[in-house]
Each structure stands twice: as C-alpha cells, then as structure tokens.
Amino acid sequence: MDEYVKKPHAKHSYSEKEIKELIKCNNDPLYFIENYVYIQTTSKGRQLFKLYDFQKKFIKQLNDYKYNIALMGRQMGKCLHGDTKIKIKNKKTGEIRELTIKEFFEMNDS
C-alpha cells in the first residue's frame, strides 16, 4: 500500500498526461471516484468503488449546486471529523460514555 502514497515533501515531476488526469479528476468527482477510489471487501479484497445510480446522482447534485438538502437516516456514519462526539451505552451495565468517533472505531478495530 505504501507505493501508492507519496512521502512528505517528496518531489515529483508530473508528465503532461498526469497533469491532464489531475485536471480531469479535479473537474469531475465521479470520474475520480470511479477510477481512483478503492474499497476493501472481505470476499474480493481491494477493488474499485462502484457507485449506484442514486449515489452518482447525489454526488453530481453536490458538485453542481451550492445548496443541497438531503433526506437521510441519522446513523449512517456521516461525520465530518474524527473528533465528532458520540454517546454509547453499555447494554449490560447501563453506563453511558461520550467519546469521539475516532476512539470508537479504534476501540472496535481490535
């Protein structure tokens, strides 16, 4: 995986083809997602992220319009930062804890 990530302060000379690709990715988020965003699945491993039509439509709307209203469920994992606070409740003891979403994921990652 490290071969896909540049080291900090690494110098790189972009070819004309790479510059055109960067511009294309910058101008079209769907192109970027469909060609460069990968997900990790348990059954198929690393694979390109394939958007459903409704996701494509939503991303296009977000890109094309300054103001958007979206009717979405509350607990779909849409937080902006790792420091977003959440509350969790221990089902056995009833204890309620407040922690960041980052702490929650780290806690469940092990």
Spatial distance between the Cα atoms of 23 and 14, rounded to a whole number of angstroms? 12
Phi, psi of 62 (to 5 degrees): -60, -35
Q: Tell me the pairing of strands 38-41 and 45-48.
A: antiparallel
Assess contact for 38 and 47: CB atoms under 8 A.
Answer: yes
Q: The tokens of 99 are what?
A: 């922690």
Mean pLDDT, rounded, for 23-49: 92
Q: The tokens of 61 are what?
A: 């709307």
Average pLDDT in the chain = 86
- At which residue do the structure tokens 């790792």 appear? 82
Q: What is the pLDDT of residues 77-88, one digit of tens each?
A: 666 677 888 888
pTM to 2 decimal places: 0.58
